[in-house]
Each structure stands twice: as C-alpha cells, then as structure tokens.
Amino acid sequence: MNKQMILLWSTVFFILFSSCEQETDILPETQPEAENATALVKNGPLSVMYVEVNGSNILNAGAYSLKNSGAPFFDIAVIFAANINYDTANERAVFHANENVQEVLDGRDTYVQPLQDRGIKVLLSILGNHQGAGIANFPDRAAARDFAEQLADVVYTYDLDGIDFDDEYSKYGENGTGRPNSSSFIMLLQELRELMPDKIISYYYIGPSTNYLEWNGNQAGDYVDYSWNAYYSTYSAPNVPGLSPAQESAAAVNINQTSSSTANNFATRTVDDDYGVYLMYDMRQSDYTSYLSGISTRLYNEETALTGQLYPWPMGSSPGESKVTLYRHCDYVEEAAQLDEGSYTLSQLTAAGMINDDVSSLKIPSGFTVTVYEHDNFGGISAELTSAIGCLTEISLNDEISSLVISKN
C-alpha cells in the first residue's frame, strides 16, 4: 500500500471515529429532556374544571394530584370567561376580555404554562355579554369567519389549548342583532376548526344553539371535541349529534354547592355509563382534597392529594385582607365601595360610598359569599354570590341592591 492510500484510510478512520465520539457526547444532554417529557398517565374519564377568574386563581386547578400515581387530578382547566361583544358601528361581533381574563392571558407564563407543564389543557370560555352578539346568530359565513379568526388569534397568541363555547347572556336581538338561526353555530365551528385543526373545541350544552346542531348535512359533533351538561347538581348527557359518550359529561358538579354524596354518585354513574368526561365548576382557594377524593376513588381508583400551593386572586393579595368591591357599571367600571365582612343596611352602604340602586357588578375574593338584597334591611329579592359577577342583569338585580351581607365560607 502506497503512502497516499495509507493517508486516505487514516483520514477516513479519523472522520468516522470523530463522528461516533460526537454522537456519544450528545446523548447525555438529550436523555434528561426525554425523561422530563414523560407524562404521568391515569386511566378513566377526563376531569374538567371551570375557574371563575374574576375571583379565583386558575393555578389552583393544578394543585391536586392522584395520591398513588401522582398524575394531575384535572385534565382540562377552563378560564371563565371571555365575552362576545357587539360593535354597533361596524355591526360586528368582537372578542372581549375583562381585566381579570386579560391578566391571565398576559400573564400566561405565570397562570397558564404551569398547568400545561403538568399536562393540563387550558381552554378559554366564550360567553355572551348582553349585547346581542352570540354564537347562534351570525348572519352569514363571513361574519362567522371573522369571529373565528379573532378566537384563533387569541389561542395562538397566548398559546392556549382551545376554546369553549357557552351560549348564555347573549340577549339576542339587542342592538338590532338577528335572532338565532340554523346555520350560525355550525359555520362558526367549521371556520374555527379549519383555523385550529389541532386545538380543542368544547361546548357547554346550553342556550338557543342547542336547537341548531345540524345544518346542511353537517353535525356539531364533526367539529366539537367535547360537550358537557350545563346544569349543576344534575346528571343528564348533552345531545350533540356526532359525539359519542366518550366525548360527553352527563355529570355537572359545582364543588361548592353539590353535595359530596351527589358528586360521588355521579362519578360512579359516569364510569358505569361509559361517559368519558366529568365536569366540575368553581374552584377557589380552598382545600378540596376530601371532596375530590370521593370523586377520584370512583373515577380512577385513587384518592386525591393536595400536592401544590393554593393561591389567592389577585396573586399578591392575602385572603384575610381582601375586600368585596362594588361597581356602578357592568364589567367592573367605576368603583363605588370596598367592604369587609359584615352586614350592611342601606345607611351603612351609603356611608361606605355606595348610591342606592346603583350597583351593576361586584368582585368577590376567594373564600367569601355575598348575599345581595333588593330592599333595605335585607328584604325583597335576594341572591347568593360566591364569585365575581360582571353584570347583575344575570340575576335580575342590576341597579336594584339596597343591602347585603358578606361572610367568609
């Protein structure tokens, strides 16, 4: 073999040896990444939790784990809620986020990413806002596409996992808007699915849209991933054409109002009836370990453990120092008074700065209940509120409050 051949083979051997050596060096760096990406798996129905972010911290949905496996109790957390507003000048439905929803979105690294890191999907609920715009009255495909584009932009801008539709409080016909029609919701779903092929679309089964779930040979279930019963403390499956029981929740549980025995019974029935989802609502800064354990032992054959921190809302507030805030207008516009725990007659409310029959929204810290009354001295129509309410028209007491009681839960 001549010197040139020896030199050539030496070069080839050096290159091959160097390549192998580089690959060996890379392996220790990539291996931990793969280990960290391993998800904790649980067997059983998906658990969904709606969180009223006007008064509660969505991070608390990530504080609970199954005791043995360590898997997160909740599979989906829903930010409740952004709105469909109506731009009267341009006759257009527009996306609206109040200050609390916007804080969660802008602070996604603080509020959303930690949940996603645990494998919990985070959806944004879309709700009517008393302005005539809703998911059931888009007049044509262009209007449905316009709103779908707005929603998709929010989902991708804030790296959310999907959209949840809630057909309440739209007040169809207001501001000259149209009545619900047969094509609107299907067109919206079609357009949104095209824009978000890999995201979740869920449907809170309520409102006029429930009557329009098939159109032009298309079914809502062709585009919706999940749907759930909207009436708490009841067990009734939604009737969404195209969805299977594995995509539905017949159970609807308010964890602050539905009794443990009822919630446990619904969990047993969910498994027995082969439903794939179990819906819950209104998580706050409270320890729900015992309540959730009753559910998880039936859904997953495991008890629940509190494995994370429980946070107040706003994040930096202290529950003991929080106050109930009254506002003169809907959507928390123009603060009227801040109140501590106690009973307030009209004269006491006036002394605190409130004007009689001039309150339209309230912010309620986690851990408090506010009972509002139509008349002075706790008389007339009343309503018990456990989380913030953006407009008292929802309970027919807008500009009608003359006394109230604030108590700790």
Residues with catalytic annotation?
Answer: 168
The span from the CA of 92 to the CA of 177, in Å, is 10
Picking from 221, 251, 253, 218, the residue whose alpha carbon sits closest to that of residue 239 is 221
What string of DSSP letters covers 238-298? ---TT--GGGEE-EEEETTTS-HHHHHHHHHHHHHTT-SEEEEE---SS--HHHHHHHHHH
DSSP 8-state assignment for residue 114: H
Strand partners, 215: 218
CA distances from 385 to 88, 313, 394 (A): 31, 16, 11
Token pair 């629940």 in the structure block, residue: 304
Q: Quick check: 357 and 349 in contact, CB under 8 A? A: no
Quote the tokens at residue 230: 């909207």
**Chain centroid offset of residue 391 CA:** 19
Picking from 290, 273, 364, the residue whose alpha carbon sits closest to that of residue 326 is 364
Token pair 């073999």 in the structure block, residue: 1
Identify the three-state secondary structure at position 78: strand
